[in-house]
Amino acid sequence: MTTTRWIPGCLALFAFACGGGSDDGSLYTDDGALTLGDGIDSASTMDSTSTMDSGGTKLDSMVETTGMATAGDGGEAKGCKAIDFLFVIDNSGSMGDNQQNLINSFPGFIQKIQETIAEVDSYHIMVVDTDEYWNDCTIECNFFPFLCQFDGVDGCGGAPTVCDETLGGGVNFPLGEDASNKYCGLTGGQRYITPQEPFNLLPEKFTCIASVGTDGDSSEQAMAAMTQAVGPALNGPGGCNTGFLRDDAVLVITVITDEEDNASPGTPEGWYQNIVAQKAGDGSGVVVLGLINDTDAVNPICPVESGDPLKIRTFIDMFPNKIRGSVCEQNYAPFFEQAV
């Protein structure tokens, strides 16, 4: 079965696939205005009073064609059937406000998806953080173990499973300062949310897994965590993320970090090839959203001393379907609302 038609339909989720998005896929134009393609404009900042009205095609009106059919040959039309959401969230010390912004914007985002994508059969939602540690208490546990007690959870007792200390393993028991500090108990037992989760619990469950805390390693490896999260070692039988990535699903990657990522091995080109390889060599089957430092913007929001995420930005811009926004925005909701 080919997937050449349904993937572009689903990519309208992010206001780019079927409408004329900007050439570079960035939220920023030369004059600092925010754009997401034809018919979408706002001020250069997305505060709670900003409005962005998309004139593009919405996800619920897009179609897929299954089998060997091609455009115009009468193939069977269906809606987007499956979406795999991967959130790569920086858990270093400076990320507390950014994580809260994501959590605050999520309930409306997932509700819009449920309301708009009436024919979607399945979604997976997984969070990974940017280091391989369950906590960063090595020194404290040796000398001051009382400093590693988080909401009644003993951070010196060892990780619950090897997956909790595996870079790219789905998060289901965040521990540390500003973290959930509890087992999230996802329905089905996977390390990602599935439609088995009662809809009314989605905000609560996402809040739990997305509150990765701020005790992570300061040498963030966002790109390494991303590539390993969808790689065969972790997605195959017995892997930490078994079954997360599916051949027939659009992969939507959201990277949220306020650092440049100089710690991940490899290059943007290599990361791109790695991700595309997991989608049978078809980069159009991937949507990449980046909430990163806006050092390339004419009117940046982030402080002038912010690191330039050149490699992450280069990676994002390699995909035909991508959006970049500022991690320093106070409200991420408008960024995600363009999805539907």
Could you give the angle at the alpha carbon of 5 between the alpha carbons of 269 and 340, nearest 5°? 80
Predicted confidence at residue 182, as pLDDT, reads 92
Q: What pLDDT does residue 96 have?
A: 83
> Domain extents for the chain?
6-40+57-66+79-337
44-57 pLDDT, tens digit each: 333 332 323 333 33
pLDDT in tens, 83-117: 999 999 999 888 988 888 888 888 877 777 767 55
Instruction: Locate the DSSP E strands across the chain.
Output: 34-35, 41-42, 64-65, 77-78, 82-89, 122-129, 149-150, 153-154, 250-256, 286-292, 322-326
Burial of residue 67, with CB atoms counted within 10 A of its CB: 0-12 exposed, 13-18 middle, 19 or more buried: exposed
User: Are residues 9 and 64 in contact, defined by beta-carbon separation less than 8 angstroms?
Assistant: yes
Backbone angles phi, psi at 290, to 5 degrees: -125, 115
Distance between CA atoms of 84 and 234, rounded to whole angstroms?
A: 15
SS3 per-residue string spanning 99-163: HHHHHHHHHHHHHHHHHHCCCCCEEEEEEEECCCCCCCCHHHHHHCHHHHEECCEECCCCCCCHH
Rounded Cα gap, residues 76 and 69, in angstroms: 8
Closest CA to 222 of 278, 266, 176: 266
Amino acid letter, residue 280: A
pLDDT attached to residue 250: 92
What does the pLDDT read at residue 80? Answer: 61
Q: What is the pLDDT of residues 224-277, one digit of tens each?
A: 999 999 999 999 999 999 999 999 999 999 999 999 999 999 999 999 999 999
Round to whole Å and give the CA distance between 135 and 137. Answer: 6
Q: Whole-angstrom Cα distance, residue 279 to residue 231?
A: 11
Model pLDDT, residue 165: 92
CA distance 169 to 235: 10
Phi-psi region for residue 22, left (φ > 0), alpha (ψ -120 to 50) or beta? beta
- CATH of 6-40+57-66+79-337, picked from 3.40.50.150, 3.40.50.1370, 3.40.50.410, 3.50.7.10, is 3.40.50.410
Distance CA 64, CA 208 (A): 34
Q: How far apart are CA 127 and CA 65, in angstroms?
A: 30
Pairwise CA distance, residues 24 & 90, whole Å: 24
Prediction pTM value:
0.78
pLDDT tens sequence across 143-197: 888 877 876 778 787 788 999 999 999 999 998 888 999 999 999 999 999 999 9
Task: Look at phi and psi of residue 152 and say left if phi exceeds 0, alpha if psi is from -120 to 50, else beta.
Answer: left
